[in-house]
Structure 1
Amino acid sequence: MAAEKEVKPHEGHKPLVMDESKQEEPKKMVKPPRSFWRRNWTTLDKRVAYIILFVHLLCIFAPFQFNWSAFRVTVALIVITGLFGMTISYHRNLAHKSFQLPKWLEYSFAYCGVHCLQGDPLDWVSTHRCHHQFVDSEKDPHSPINGFWISHMMWLFDSYTLTNKVCPKYSSDLKKIERNMFVIFTKHGKPDNVGDLEKQRFYRFIHKTYMLHHLALAIILYSIGGVPFFIWGMCVRIVAVFHSTFMVNSVCHIWGKQPWRTGDLSRNNWLVGLTSFGEGWHNNHHAFSYSARLGLEWWQLDAGWYVIKFLQVIGLATNVKLPSPTHMQSLAMDHKPKDKLF
C-alpha cells in the first residue's frame, strides 16, 4: 500500500495548482456589471446558452416521464459522472494533482467527467487553475464579488471576458472555433496553464470531439429506455450535477464557516458538501488546494476522499497528498496546535 504524502507548507503552493496569490483582506460583494447584458453575445456564447437552456427546459417533462428504472439509472449516472468524473478526476486528480492513477484509470475517470456537460478536461482544468491563482479578485473567472449569479453560471455565457481572465496573452482563430460545433465550453484563446494535459493525445481528442460523446450517450439511453431514460438519465442528471458543482463557486464563497486563514471568501458549507460528494468543504480546499482529502474532520463527509482512500489501499492511487500538521497549524484561525488527522 502506498503511503500518504504529507505536504509541507511551501509545497502546497506550487505553480501547477496556482494557489500562491492570495489576498490578505476578504473582498466585498458588488453589484454585477451592467455591461454583461448589454454586450454583444458571440456565436459561442449563444450556443452554450441554448444548450443549457434546452437541457433545463426538458426537465419540466421529468414528472410525466418518471419510472423507477429511469430513476435508478439517473442516480447511478450521477455517481459515475459527478463523483468519479467531476470530483475525483477533473478536480482532485487533473486540476490539483492530489494523487496519481494508472493512465487507463485516469482516462476512464476523466471520460466520466466529460458527460457532466461542464466542458472538456482541458477547458475545465484551465479555468479552475486560474480561479485558484486569482481567487475572489477581478481576474477570478467566477467570483461572487461580481454577483451571485455571475459566479454560479452566468460567467459561462461571456467567452470574451473568460478568455481575458484565463488566457489573455494567447489568441486563436475565432472563426475556426465557432465553426466547430462539437467544441462547446471553450475560450477564444489558448490557455497556458494546462500544458501537462495538452501533451496527451486523449485530452486533445476529447477537446475536439466533446459534444459527440454527449450525443452518443443520449442515443444509448434512448435506445435502452426510451424518452424516460433520455429525460432522466441525460437532462435531470446533468442539471443536478451542474448546479451541485457550481454551488461550490457561488454558495461556498458566500455562506458558511472559515476555519482557515485563506484571505479569500471561501467557506465550508455542509449542505453543499453533501450534494457535491465532499466539495462543499471549500475553505479547507482553498487552504490546502493540493490535498486529496477535503473533509479534514471526521464528521466532514467526503465521498471523494473515501474512494481515493480505497484506491490507495488496493494500490491504484499513489502519491496521495495530505496537509502536514505544521501547515494546518500555520493557517488555523485559532492558531492552536491541531492533532494529526491522518
Structure 2
Amino acid sequence: MPFFNPTASVAEGDRLQLSWLKSGWLYLMLVPALLWGWSSLSVERSVASVLLTVFSVGLGHSIGLHRGIIHRAYRCSRFTRGLLAYCFVHSGLGGPLSWVRVHYFRDYWQNRADCPAYFRYDHSVLQDYGWNLHLALLPADESRYAIPDEDLHDPWLVFLQNTWYWHVLGAAGLIWAVFSFEAMIVCVCLRISITILGHWFVGFISHKYGYARYDIDGAAEHGYNNFVLGALSFGEGFHNNHHAHPSSARMGTEWYELDLGWHLIRGLRGLGVVWDVQVAGQTNTLKRQAKARAYRWRWPWQE
C-alpha cells in the first residue's frame, strides 16, 4: 500500500485523514533532535531527560492514562488522577482524550474477527509508520465504542486536550531560559522524539513478534510479550499479558518479566496514593475470551 493512504481499510462509514497536528508535532521535535541532539548530550542532561521520562511516560502515560484512566486498574483521588494526567501531557505524546479515544477504537476492533486492516498488524513497518504516526481516525459513530462520558467530559482532561502542546512548549522555553538551548534539546526535543517513536515501535513489535501464553477467542489481535521492550517501556511491551488481563495493574506477570510500571504502582500503593489495585493472579482480571495455552513464539523469519 502507498505510504500515506487515506483510503486504507477501516469500518464502513469511518475514514482516515492526515493529522497535521500529529505529523507536524513529530517533526517539530524530531528535526531539532537530529540536528543538535548528539552535540547537546552530556551526562547531566541525559540523567535529567531520563528522570523526566520516568515522570511523563512511566507515571503519566503507562500508570496514569493507560492503567488508571483507561483500564481502571486501581482507584485514586481526583487530584492524583489529574496530576498523573498532567504528567502524561509532558510525555509529548499528545492530548489525553485523543489517546483515550484511540485506545477504545483499537480495543473494540482488535477484539473482533472482522477487524479492519488499519487496526491489524499484518502490514509492513513502513506502512505502520505512515498510518499510526500521521493519520487520525474519524469514526462515523463514536458512540459504538462506549467511551465513558465521565472521561470525555471531564473538565480537566478537556482542558489538557485543548492545551497540551502549550504546556510542553512552555516547559521547553523555561528550560532554555533557565539552563541552556542544549538542555532544551536533550530534555524536550530528543526525549519526546524517542518517546513518540519508541511508543510506536513497541506497539508495532508487540503485536507482531515475541511469545504469547494466551489466545483471545474471536479476536484478530492477541499481542505478544517481549522481554527487552517490556522492560524499556514500563511493562507496555508485555502485550499478550495485557490483552488477556486488560484491567491488571501488573503487565509483567512472571518473575522474569520486568515491569517497571508495576513497581511504580507498588510505590504509590505503599504511600497510600492508590488503592484497590487489580493484579493478575490475585484479582479477577482475566478477560472472559482469554484462554491460557502453551508458549507460542513468532519471529520475523517465520512470516
Give TM-score, length-normalised by structure 1: 0.74
Q: Which residue in the other structure is 1:289 paired with?
A: 246
SS in 1 for 2:5: helix
Would the alpha carbon gap of residues 34 and 231 (structure 1) be closer, same or farther in structure 2, given more than 3 Å must change?
closer
Residue 208 (1) aligns with residue 162 (2): yes
After superposition, residues 148-297 of structure 1 pair within 5 angstroms as 148-152=125-129, 154-159=131-136, 162-164=137-139, 168-169=140-141, 193-262=147-216, 263=219, 264-297=221-254
In 2, Cα distance between the equivalents of 1:194 and 1:122?
Answer: 11
Structure 2 counterpart of 1:129, which letter? Y
2:58 to 53, 58, 83: 83
Structure 2 gap ranges (5+): 9-15, 296-303
Q: Deviations over 1:70-129 (max 9, x none)?
A: 222211111111111111111100111111111111111111111122221111011112
Structure 1 gap ranges (5+): 1-31, 171-188, 336-342
In 2, Cα distance between the equivalents of 1:333 and 1:38?
Answer: 37
How far does residue 265 in structure 1 lie from its aligned partner after superposition?
4.1
Structure 2 counterpart of 1:36, which letter? N
2:2–2:127 Cα contact (<8 Å) kept? no
Q: Which residue in the other structure is 1:96 paired with?
A: 71
Structure 2 counterpart of 1:331, which letter? K
1:248–1:282 Cα contact (<8 Å) kept? no
Q: Which residue in the other structure is 2:32 paired with?
A: 58
Would the alpha carbon gap of residues 297 and 190 (structure 1) be closer, same or farther in structure 2, given more than 3 Å must change?
closer
Q: Which residue in the other structure is 2:269 paired with?
A: 312
Q: Which residue in the other structure is 2:11 paired with?
A: none
How far does residue 334 in structure 1 lie from its aligned partner after superposition?
3.7
Structure 2 counterpart of 1:313, which letter? G
How far does residue 324 in structure 1 lie from its aligned partner after superposition?
4.4
2:3–2:126 Cα contact (<8 Å) kept? no
How far does residue 156 in structure 1 lie from its aligned partner after superposition?
3.5
SS in 1 for 2:213: coil
Would the alpha carbon gap of residues 131 and 260 (structure 1) be closer, same or farther in structure 2, given more than 3 Å must change?
same
Residue 36 (1) aligns with residue 10 (2): no
Q: Deviations over 1:217-266 (max 9, x none)?
A: 11111112211111101111101222222223200011100111124241
Q: Deviations over 1:299-329 (max 9, x none)?
A: 1100111111222233221121123478499
In 2, Cα distance between the equivalents of 1:140 and 1:99?
Answer: 33
Q: Which residue in the other structure is 1:147 paired with?
A: 124
In 1, Cα distance between the equivalents of 2:208 and 2:85?
Answer: 29
In 2, Cα distance between the equivalents of 1:169 and 1:38?
Answer: 18
How far does residue 154 in structure 1 lie from its aligned partner after superposition?
2.8
Would the alpha carbon gap of residues 328 and 37 (structure 1) be closer, same or farther in structure 2, given more than 3 Å must change?
closer
Structure 1 counterpart of 2:291, which letter? L
Q: How many corresponding residue pairs?
A: 280
Give TM-score, length-normalised by structure 2: 0.82
SS in 2 for 1:258: strand
In 2, Cα distance between the equivalents of 1:295 and 1:146?
Answer: 27
In 2, Cα distance between the equivalents of 1:296 and 1:153?
Answer: 32
SS in 2 for 1:82: helix
Structure 2 counterpart of 1:235, which letter? C
1:74–1:232 Cα contact (<8 Å) kept? yes
In 2, Cα distance between the equivalents of 1:77 and 1:50?
Answer: 23
Structure 1 counterpart of 2:120, which letter? S
Which structure: greater strand fraction? 2
2:93–2:192 Cα contact (<8 Å) kept? no
In 2, Cα distance between the equivalents of 1:88 and 1:163?
Answer: 27
Q: Which residue in the other structure is 1:180 paired with?
A: none
Q: Deviations over 1:278-317 (max 9, x none)?
A: 1111100001111111000011100111111222233221
RMSD of aligned residue pairs (Cα, Å): 2.9
Q: Which residue in the other structure is 2:89 paired with?
A: 114
How far does residue 45 in structure 1 lie from its aligned partner after superposition?
2.2
